[in-house]
């Protein structure tokens, strides 16, 4: 309540005389409308309230509606005389507002805004007072009229707003809005403005949104039509003109910075003095004129930014184009093409000779590209899934189809498996466990993109077998970790055999412990030997390609182990894999040696060298006869001994039939433990050929089993549909050729697993 002041009021009017009553009320209302700041004293307040009450409940009114009381049980008289009072107030407000309209014509721009805001504040505060003074009218006559569905009847406060809207606002709203837009433009041009004026104008526009159907509710219709609509149109026009000129005079990067700043300004403008309802349409309008209308030049610049690795500017472009529909699609396409090109170039740079290419160099080249652009996606493109998909598509392309892969479609998985083997083998470099784990995780990134995962599996399993058999793994934890990663990527079936290989090695350790205890118990003299029993179905190993007569010492120990094993596992058959056996022999024949050399040799090399315990010289034919080795196994074993100068051969470098071999008593080496059990390049090449051959055979079986599974479930299918379904099932292991699938279907037709029902339909035969 404002401060109390004395406003002299005459005595109460005649209660049933409308003219006399209104004359009394008008004086009080005028003082409230014009001089409210001086306050309203209690006598005046009560005088106006009483006059309204007395008029609405006058005896004349009661007598006039005596009959009505029978039906309604209410004061119908209050209804009738209240209408006169309501009309008088409406007329008064209309005249008052017309005078304000005339006064407004003397003001423009900011002066008009100040006038509008001042009068709006005075008017609405006065309206609240008058609303309270006319409470009796509101509670009775107005309520009844509204309950009966009468149109254009409002409570007294709402009546004030309606009259303002229909009389003054209708005349001055455009001028007021023009002044608002000029003020906003000044701010956009860098001038400081009194934005509180705009905020109050917005609030008045919102307050005028009255629901004609329900005066107790409000809408934003007036605000949206008279403020939001022209504001958005002016905003579009301003930024269309500015952006067009700015682009003509500045670089694209500078324009992006400008657009970014303008968008931030508009968002701040909403927070400071605009209505929240405008936020979305304003954002949409700004995005249209600042981004969508210039998207072509932005996209054209993207390739330049990629080529020059302008990460910050790419992030800026991403943030801008992400604000418009389909704005990023062309960027994703260009990004994918760029990454693919960069990957192919990186591989071409290192692939001068695919056959001599180091696996580490190749894999590092792939990882370097992926790591770089993955970082770009994370930092510049907000780790967006669609950009990640583009990165994945590009990496899949250059990993599987590049310069190195031209020499063989299986090259990427083969080189990856070889690099993994290098990491997991014991080495003198001594890689830290944490670093090794991190590198293995990176290798899995490349593995994820490899299409021929069965090729990796085949090479990896062969190399794992070699590491396990030769006790050459850097650590069991690292091996287990790698298998877990493969299992997570490809499922249990993919790593089932790898895990069984580990189990076999553990069982073999327990078996050797038992064998040692058994030998000690029976008191038999034995070699310091260790045996691995490997399950045929799980290890990628084949029986030796040659006959072999092991030395007596070795043969006796093996026989003892065989008897022990068969006693524990009746019915099992052992096949000796001599090509994988190795051992150590001590030398006592070398002159001037400070201490005896120890040779680490294969079983074949051991058999050859032990022959020289009995004879100083042995011919090629004698060695072949004693060892029973064929030339494919004997010749490489002798070649390594000759190359290491452990043996001398009469007749120069000749190795083969007719040659005679003797021990080199002048053998010298910097190390006292000399490893002679090294593979020949020809052997490695042969193993690769055999592995690839096995892969092809396995693929045929895998395709056939997939086809049978599909047909067993579906019973009958179209030929083309069967081909598509087979591709979908197999593609996680490798990408099959349609021609190979068709060949497998023909094989299954010949074997009568399937039948041809008609020209295009295939059926399943139980």
Strands 598-602 and 673-675: what pairing? parallel
CB within 8 Å of 262: residues ≥ 6 apart: 239, 286, 290
* Predicted local distance difference test score (pLDDT) of residue 384: 94
How far apart, in whole angstroms, are the C-alpha atoms of residue 238 and residue 25? Answer: 51
Q: How far apart are CA 711 and CA 722, in angstroms?
A: 8
Residue 447, C-beta contacts closer than 8 angstroms, at least 6 positions apart: 416, 453, 456, 486, 489
The contacts of residue 633 (CB under 8 Å, 6+ apart) are: 544, 545, 546, 548, 579, 604
Give DSSP secondary structure letters for 64-121: HTHHHHHHH-S-HHHHHHHHHHHHHHHHHHHHHHHHHHHHHTT--HHHHHHHHHHHHH
| CB contact at 8 A, 256 and 313 | yes
Long-range contacts of the stretch 151-156 (C-beta < 8 A, 24+): 151/212, 153/86, 154/210, 154/215, 155/131, 155/215, 156/89, 156/127, 156/130, 156/131
Sign of the dihedral through C-alpha 399, 404, 406, 408: negative
Distances in Å between the Cα of 335 and the Cα atoms of 79, 296, 302, 703 are 77, 16, 9, 36
Residues 137 and 153 sit within 8 Å (Cβ to Cβ): no
591-601 pLDDT, tens digit each: 777 888 899 99
The pLDDT assigned to 47 comes to: 80
Dist CA 334 CA 332 (whole Å): 6
CATH numbers and ranges of domains, the chain: 18-219 (1.20.1310.10), 229-307 (1.20.1310.10), 581-679 (3.30.230.130), 685-764 (1.10.10.10)
Q: In Å, what is the CA distance from 322 to each residue of 325, 329, 332, 625, 749?
A: 7, 10, 11, 79, 54
Q: What is the pLDDT of residues 337-360, one digit of tens each?
A: 999 999 999 999 988 776 678 899
Strand ranges across the sheet with 754-756: 716-718, 761-764, 754-756
Distances (CA, A) of 62 to 51, 73, 79: 16, 12, 10
pLDDT at 408: 59
**What confidence score (pLDDT) does residue 178 get?**
95
In order, the DSSP letters of 65-79 are THHHHHHH-S-HHHH
Q: Give the tokens for residue 744.
A: 């497998």
pLDDT number for residue 70 = 32
Show Cβ contacts of residue 253 under 8 Å, excluding neighbours closer than 6 positions. 301, 310, 313, 316
| pLDDT at residue 399, as a whole number | 92
CA dihedral of 5, 10, 16, 17, whole degrees rounded to 10: -120
Indicate the SS3 state at residue 648: strand
**Helices within 105-228 (DSSP H only):** 109-133, 135-137, 143-147, 156-163, 170-188, 195-207, 221-223
User: pLDDT tens digits for 160-211?
Assistant: 999 999 999 899 999 999 999 999 999 999 998 888 999 999 999 998 888 7
Task: Please state the pTM of the whole predicted model.
Answer: 0.76
Q: Identify the H or E element spanning 486.
A: helix 476-490
Low-confidence ranges of the chain (pLDDT < 50): 1-8, 59, 61-79, 428, 682
Chain center to CA of 670: 55
pLDDT at 69: 36
């Amino acid at each position: 309540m404002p401060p109390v002041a004395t406003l002299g009021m005459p005595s109460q009017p005649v209660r049933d005389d409308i003219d006399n009553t209104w004359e009394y009320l008008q004086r009080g209302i005028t003082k409230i409308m014009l001089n409210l700041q001086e306050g309203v004293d209690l006598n005046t307040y009560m005088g106006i309230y009483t006059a309204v009450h007395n008029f609405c409940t006058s005896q004349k009114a009661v007598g006039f509606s005596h009959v009505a009381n029978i039906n309604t049980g209410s004061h119908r008289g209050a209804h009738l005389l209240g209408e006169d009072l309501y009309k008088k107030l409406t007329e008064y407000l209309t005249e008052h507002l017309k005078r304000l309209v005339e006064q407004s014509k003397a003001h423009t721009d900011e002066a008009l805004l100040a006038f509008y805001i001042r009068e709006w504040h005075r008017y609405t505060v006065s309206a609240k007072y008058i609303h309270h003074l006319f409470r009796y009218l509101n509670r009775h006559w107005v309520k009844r009229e509204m309950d009966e569905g009468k149109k254009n009847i409002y409570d007294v406060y709402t009546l004030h707003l309606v009259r303002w809207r229909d009389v003054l606002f209708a005349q001055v709203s455009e001028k007021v809005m023009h002044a608002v837009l000029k003020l906003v433009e000044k701010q956009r041009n860098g001038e400081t403005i009194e934005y509180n004026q705009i905020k109050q104008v917005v609030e008045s526009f919102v307050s005028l949104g009255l629901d004609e159907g329900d005066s107790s509710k409000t809408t934003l219709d007036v605000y949206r039509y008279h403020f939001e609509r022209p504001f958005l149109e002016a905003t579009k026009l301003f930024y269309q003109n500015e952006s067009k000129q700015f682009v003509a005079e500045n670089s694209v990067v500078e324009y992006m910075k400008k657009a970014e700043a303008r968008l931030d300004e508009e968002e701040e403008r909403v927070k400071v003095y605009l209505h929240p309802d405008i936020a979305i349409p304003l954002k949409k309008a700004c995005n249209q004129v600042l981004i969508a209308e210039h998207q072509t030049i932005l996209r054209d610049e993207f390739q330049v930014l990629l080529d020059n690795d302008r990460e910050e500017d790419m992030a800026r472009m991403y943030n801008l184009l992400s604000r418009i529909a389909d704005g990023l699609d062309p960027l994703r396409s260009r990004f994918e093409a760029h990454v693919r090109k960069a990957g192919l170039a990186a591989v071409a740079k290192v692939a001068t000779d695919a056959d001599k290419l180091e696996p580490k160099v190749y894999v590092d080249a792939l990882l370097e590209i992926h790591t770089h652009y993955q970082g770009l996606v994370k930092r510049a493109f907000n780790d967006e899934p669609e950009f990640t998909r583009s990165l994945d598509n590009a990496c899949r392309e250059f990993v599987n189809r590049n310069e190195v892969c031209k020499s063989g479609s299986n090259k990427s998985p083969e080189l990856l498996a070889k690099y993994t083997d290098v990491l997991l083998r014991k080495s003198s470099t001594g890689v830290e466990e944490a670093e090794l784990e991190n590198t293995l995780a990176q290798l899995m990134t490349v593995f994820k993109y490899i299409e021929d995962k069965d090729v990796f599996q085949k090479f990896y399993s062969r190399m794992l077998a070699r590491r396990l058999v030769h006790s050459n793994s850097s650590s069991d934890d690292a091996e287990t970790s790698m298998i877990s990663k493969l299992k997570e990527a490809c499922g249990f079936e993919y790593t089932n055999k790898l895990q069984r290989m580990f189990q076999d090695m553990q069982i073999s350790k327990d078996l050797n412990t038992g064998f040692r205890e058994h030998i000690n118990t029976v008191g038999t003299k034995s070699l310091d030997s260790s045996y691995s029993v490997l399950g045929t179905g799980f290890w990628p190993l084949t029986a030796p390609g040659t006959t072999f007569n092991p030395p007596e010492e070795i043969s006796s120990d093996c026989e003892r182990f065989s008897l022990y094993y068969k006693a524990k596992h009746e019915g099992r058959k052992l096949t000796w894999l001599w090509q994988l056996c190795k051992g150590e022999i001590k030398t006592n024949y070398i002159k001037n040696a400070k201490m005896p050399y120890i040779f680490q040799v294969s079983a074949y090399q051991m058999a050859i060298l032990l022959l020289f315990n009995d004879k100083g010289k042995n011919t090629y034919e004698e060695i072949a006869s004693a060892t029973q080795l064929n030339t494919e196994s004997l010749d490489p074993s002798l070649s390594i001994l000759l190359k290491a100068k452990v043996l001398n051969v009469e007749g120069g470098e000749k190795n083969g039939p007719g040659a005679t071999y003797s021990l080199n008593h002048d053998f010298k080496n910097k190390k006292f433990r000399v490893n002679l059990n090294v593979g020949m390049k020809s052997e490695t090449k042969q193993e690769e050929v055999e592995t690839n051959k096995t892969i092809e055979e396995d693929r045929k079986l895998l395709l056939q089993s997939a086809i049978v599974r599909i047909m067993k479930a579906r019973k009958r299918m179209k030929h083309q549909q069967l081909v598509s379904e087979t591709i979908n099932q197999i593609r996680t292991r490798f990408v099959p050729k349609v021609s190979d699938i068709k060949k497998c279907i023909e094989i299954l037709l010949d074997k009568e697993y399937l039948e041809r029902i008609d020209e295009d339909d295939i059926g399943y035969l139980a």
